[in-house]
Structure formats: C-alpha cells, structure tokens
Amino acid sequence: MNDIIIKNITRIVIPFAQVYGIFIILNGHISPGGGFAGGAIIGTSLILYTLVFGREKGEKKFSHKMSEIAESGGIMLFISIGILGMITGGYFLTNIEAGFPTGELGSLLSGGFIPLLMIGIGIKVASTMISLFNLLIDEEK
Amino acid sequence: MDAIDLILTNINYIGALALFLIGLRIVVLHSNLIKRIMGINIMGTGVFLFFVAIGNVENGTVPIVGNDTNPVFINPLPSVFILTGIVVVVSITVYSLSLVIRIYENYHTIDQKELSKMISEENNEH
Amino acid sequence: MKKYMVDGLLIILFILFVIGIFDMPTEASLNAPAYNEVVLHYVNQGAGETNASNLIAGILADYRGFDTLGETIVLFVSVVAVGSVLRTSKHDHEVNENE
C-alpha cells in the first residue's frame, strides 16, 4: 500500500503489539492467556507487516527458512522436555519430580517447566499463522 | 413469570443455539462456496459457546489461585477442552479455503449451481 | 419462496430445541453434574502439585500435557496439508531455476 498514514502508524504500532504478545506468553502461569493467545498476537503482527509493506519486504524480515526452523523447533522443544523427564526416571513429561526448579506460588519463575512449554507453543503458533498467510496469497506468474 | 425466569437462567445456552441455527441457515441458503465455509465456522463457534457455558458457577471467580482463602471457582475443565477444539476448527477452515482456490483455478467459478452443471457436463462427455 | 420455507422450518427447530433445553439440568451451582470428583481434585490440589497459579495453564501443561503435544502436531499437519495443495511442482521448479 502506498498510503503514508498507514505506513507510519504501522511502524509505531507493531513493536508494542509484539511486546504485549511476549508478555502474555511469559505470564501464562500467573494470569489468563498462555501460549496460544500470545502466539496468535505475535502472528497477527507479522501478518500486518506483510499486508502493509508488500510481499518482498515481508520475505526479507521473516523468510521461508526461518519459519521452517520455528515450526520444527517448537515441537522439538516440547519433545526434548518430555524426554528429559524420562531420563531422570519418571514418565514422559514429569514436572516437579524430574528436577525442574520450583519457586514460590505467584512469582515469575514458578511452575516447573510451564513457561518453557508456553514459549514453545507460542513460537509454533506464530510461525503457523505467517506460513499459512504466505501460502494463501502466493500468486503464480 | 415462570417462562421468563427459565429463559433468563438458560440465556447462555439459548444464545449458543441461536448462533448454531444462524450458521445452518447460511450453509443452506447461499450457493457461494466461501460463504458456506464461513457458515460452518459460525456453527463451530456456537458449539464452543454451548460447551463452555456448562462450567458456569453462580458467584464464582476466575480459576486463578491468589491470596484469597477458599473462594468458589468456576469449572476449569470445559475451557481446557475448547482450547484444543478451536485449533482444529481453524485448521479445517484454512484447508477448505485452499481447496476453493484450486477449484477456482480449474473451473473459473465458485458458484455451486454452475459447478455442478459443469461437472455433470464433463461426466456426460466421457 | 424457498427462503420463507427454510425460515419457517428453522424457527420450528429453534422452539423444539428450547423446549429441550428447559429439561436439561442446567443449574449453575456446585451441585451441577459436571462438577465431579476429578474437578474437585484439580481445584483443591492443583496449585500445590503443579506450583502454578493459573489452574487452566496447570491443567493444560501438567496434568494433560500429552493432549497439548497432539494439538501442536495438528497445527503442523495443517501447514503441510495446505502446502501440498497450493505449491505445485511447477512453482518449485521455477524457484530452483532462479536460485
């Protein structure tokens, strides 16, 4: 789009939206939200960038290779945390008995592995949204 | 009156039912393929609202453990199931929209009546 | 003509379903049939066992973490399915020629 108002307002709004999305992901175990809602917010901000500035600039910021790494990396983080639980003598995906650090109830570093799982889910959902959008608006010349 | 009392107690379920029937009317009456897919999405939203409304408790609070002593929590279990269900409905909608893109590239129309005419003419030629 | 018939049938269906809703046990209290002993265990001992304040995040990630793994696999499969429909082999041949 060649409108100057939309370009300037998008440049101001996108960093705030991404910081808000990261805040919702990291506080998944204290307040309502979690991985899926935060990942949807970050994915929507990337879609907004591709819509306003065109396909080529969006391809430079978040290329096909980086979305491949993000898609696979989210599931690999999940599975490796589960196998870590199996190595220290429990079942798949144990939380406190496998040695993940617990804190006091209500602080940021509590809950065992729950913040790590939320980060993995958030990265995966954001990468899924931007990949699906890029696939749907691709045109054959 | 007793009937108005009954309606006001079950207002969540009646709203979910209304969403479901609005989505059903869209699928039955329109012949554009993209409008039908959006109608299926609206029906899914109605079902989710019906399921989450089961877990309501009167004067209950959000299920987050704070510093209160013995509050009454609402039922957290239906919300957990619906989080997974939303993702399934979104991926089904995206897949059917991609199939509509391929149908348009092949037949150059997305109206269902013209499509069935074209497909039956193709089958009659063989 | 067809529109009015469909509208009439849907209104009859709505009234039948609402009469069915009035028979459901929909009291919003702690004696509801959906508030059984599993939910009581999650509410009373959830914060102690999982050490998370948000009970819903604790149930999603700790008690039922395997379902969440299955759901991320569903997201992955949806991207693969849309990619297999929309990226033809001619497009990939052009991309490999340009590189």
Name the residue facing C74 among B25, B88, B101 (closest C-beta): B88
> Residue B35: which domain range?
2-125
Give ipTM to 2 decimals.
Answer: 0.86
Subunits close to A (at least 3 CB pairs below 8 A): B, C
Mean pLDDT of A120-132: 94
Selected residue of C1, C78, C86, C88 to mutate for chain B interface (largest B Cβ count, 10 A) = C78
As a 3-state breakdown, chain C gives helix, strand, coil percent values, each rounded to 5, of 75, 0, 25
User: If you count them, how many residues does chain C have?
Assistant: 99
Q: Which residues pair with B64 in a beta bridge?
A: C54
Tell how far CA A125 is from the center of its chain: 6
Residue A140 DSSP SS3: coil
Q: Express each pLDDT in A42-79 by its tens digit.
A: 999 999 999 999 888 988 988 889 999 999 999 999 99
Would you state the pLDDT for residue C35?
A: 87
Query: How many domains, in total, are found in chain B?
Result: 1
Residues C59/C42, Cβ–Cβ less than 8 Å = yes
Chain A residues with CB-CB distance to C72 below 8 A: 74-75, 78, 120-121, 124
Selected residue of B94, B98, B102, B106 to mutate for chain A interface (largest A Cβ count, 10 A) = B94
Q: Express each pLDDT in B41-57 by its tens digit.
A: 999 999 999 999 998 88
Q: Express each pLDDT in A75-104 by its tens digit.
A: 999 999 988 888 887 788 888 777 777 777
Would you state the pLDDT for residue C98?
A: 60
User: What percent of chain A shows pLDDT beyond 70?
Assistant: 99
Would you state the pLDDT for residue C85?
A: 92
What is the chain A residue with the closest CA to C53?
A30
Would you state the pLDDT for residue B33?
A: 95
Hey, are the CB atoms on B97 and A136 less than 8 Å from each other? Answer: yes
Question: Does A137 touch chain B if contact means CB atoms closer than 8 Å?
Answer: no
Query: Which residues does chain B have with pLDDT short of 70?
Result: none
pLDDT tier at C31, thresholds 50, 70, 90: confident
Q: Between these two residues, A21 and B68, which has the higher pLDDT value?
A: A21
**Nearest-CA distance B57 → chain C (Å):** 5
Selected residue of C4, C29, C49 to mutate for chain B interface (largest B Cβ count, 10 A) = C29
Hey, are the CB atoms on A114 and C61 less than 8 Å from each other? Answer: yes
Would you state the pLDDT for residue C96?
A: 64
| Domain boundaries of chain A, sorted by first residue | 4-136
Q: How far apart are CA B107 and CA C87, in angstroms?
A: 18
Hey, are the CB atoms on B84 and C68 less than 8 Å from each other? Answer: yes
Question: Does C75 touch chain A if contact means CB atoms closer than 8 Å?
Answer: yes
Q: How far apart are CA B105 and CA B99, in angstroms?
A: 10
Q: Express each pLDDT in C33-91 by its tens digit.
A: 888 899 999 988 888 888 888 899 989 988 999 999 999 999 999 999 999 999 876 65
CATH number at residue B60: 1.10.287.3510
Would you state the pLDDT for residue C92?
A: 59
Q: How far apart are CA B4 and CA B58, in angstroms?
A: 19
What is the chain B residue with the closest CA to A40?
B87
The H or E element spanning position B125 is helix B112-125
